[in-house]
Amino acid sequence: MMTFLERFSRKYKLPIEACEQLLGRMERRAYRKGECAVRQGEFNGDLYLVSRGIWLGHYLHEGNDISLWFAGEGEAIFSTRSYVADRPSSITIEAMCDAELYAISRSALERFFGESVEAANFGRRLFEVQFLDLENWLLAGGAPRAEERYRALMEENPELLRIVPLKHIASYLWITPQSLSRIRARLHRKKP
Res. 71 pLDDT band, cuts 50 70 90: very high
CA angle 56, 59, 65 (to 5 degrees): 90
The CA distance from 74 to 177, in Å, is 29
CA angle 172, 166, 132 (to 5 degrees): 25
pLDDT tens digits along 98-141: 999 999 999 999 999 899 888 888 888 888 888 888 787 777 66
Give residue 132's identity as a one-letter amino acid code.
Answer: L
Res. 2 pLDDT band, cuts 50 70 90: confident
Helix axes 4-11, 16-23, angle to 10 degrees: 120
Percentage of the chain surpassing pLDDT 90?
A: 51
Alpha carbon of residue 126 to chain centroid: 13
Confidence (pLDDT) at 143: 52
Res. 73 pLDDT band, cuts 50 70 90: very high
Note the pTM of the prediction, 2 decimals. Answer: 0.81
pLDDT tens digits along 141-178: 655 588 888 888 888 888 888 899 999 999 888 888 99
Which long-range contacts (C-beta less than 8 Å, at least 24 apart) are formed by 142-147?
Answer: 146/173, 146/174, 146/175, 146/179, 146/180, 146/183, 147/183, 147/186, 147/187
Confidence (pLDDT) at 192: 66
Confidence (pLDDT) at 155: 86
What does 111-155 look like in DSSP terms, one character per residue? HHHTT-HHHHHHHHHHHHHHHHHHHHHHHHHT-S-HHHHHHHHHH
In the three-class reduction of DSSP (H, G, I as helix; E, B as strand; rest coil), residue 163 is classed as helix
Do 94 and 43 meet the contact criterion of CB atoms below 8 Å apart? no
Confidence (pLDDT) at 188: 83
